[in-house]
Amino acid sequence: MRIDIHVHPAFYADINGDSHREGLRHRVTDIHKNGLAALEHIENKMACARLDRLTLLAQVYPEARGGAIVSNEEVRSLISLRPDLFFGMGSLDPGDPHLAETAEHALGDLGLLGLALYPCAGEFRPDDPRLEPVWSLCEQYDRPVLFHLGMTWEPGQSMAWAHPLSVEPLAMSHPKLRIGITRFGWPWVRETAALLLKYPNLYADTGVLYFDCAREFYQQTFTKDLPITWLDRSLRHQVLFGSDDPRFEQIRMAAAMETLGLRESSVELIMGENALVYLGL
C-alpha cells in the first residue's frame, strides 16, 4: 500500500461551501493559484501518482491566526465520504482551554489516527508542558503526533519555532510516543537524520521544499546533503513519503522517489509500509 502521510485538504470542494472560509484558507496558507478539487480529481491524481491512501491533516491554529483552518470534523467528513481513499489526523491548539477534551474527541469520538501540530503557527515547543495530557492520550490510544517543522511559507510565522531538534526533549521523555517531523526538517536535514538515528520513535516525511524540479531537489537532499546509503541502510524504517499537497506537486514527488537509486525494498518501506507502522495500522 502506497500512502502520502502529509496532505492538506483545505481546498477540497466538499468542505468549501463558504467563500469567506475559502478566502481565509488562501490568505493563511499563502496558496492562491489553485481551484477547488472535487473528489474525482483527487482520485485521478492518486492514480497518476500510484497512491492508495492519503493522510488528510486537520489544521488548527490559535484564533489570532485563523483558528480551525481545517477542522477535525471536516477531516472526519471527508473520510466518511471516501474511506477507501483517506486516513486522517486531527489537530489542536495548545492554547485551547479544553485541550484534553479536544484531543479525546479527535482520537476517540472521531476515530482519527493521530494529531498534527503546528509549532510555527502556535509559537510553542513540542515539549510544552500544556501538552502533557495530550501525550498521555496519544499513548493510551497508541496514536502518533506529526509536528510541522522545517521551513514554513506561511505569512507571519517565524522559522525560529521550526528547528527539528526541538522534538528531542519530547522524544527522550516519551519513548513510546511515535513522533513525526515534516519536510525532513529541511533545511536542517542532517540534524533530522541524527535524531532518527538516535531515537527509534522518530519518523520524518519527505515533503521537502523544491524550487522547480522535484527530481533534482530530491537528488540534492537525499543523495548529496544526505548520502543515499543513510536512507537505504540506517534510516529506511523511519522515512515516510509525504508531499505537503497542495503546496507541491504530489505526482512529481512520488515519481522522484523512484529515481533516487534506493533498493526496491527501501522504496516500498518509504512509500507506504513505514506509514502503516507509524499510524498504528
Give the number of domains in the chain. Answer: 1
Q: What is the mean pLDDT of the chain?
A: 94
Least Cα distance to 123 among 78, 75, 177, 166 occurs for 166
Give the domain range for residue 61: 3-278
pTM greater than 0.85: yes
How does pLDDT run across 144-159, given as a tens digit for each residue? 999 999 998 888 889 9
256, 261, 263, 265 alpha-carbon torsion, rounded to 10°: 0
Higher pLDDT, 151 or 103: 103
**CATH code, 171:** 3.20.20.140
The rounded distance, in Å, linking the Cα atoms of 193 and 229 is 12
Q: What share of the chain is helix, strand, coil (3-state, %, to 5)?
A: 50, 15, 40
Tell me what the mean pLDDT of segment 26-38 comes to.
Answer: 82
How does pLDDT run across 188-208, given as a tens digit for each residue? 999 999 999 999 999 999 998
Tell me what the mean pLDDT of segment 199-224 comes to.
Answer: 92
The pLDDT of residue 209 is 76
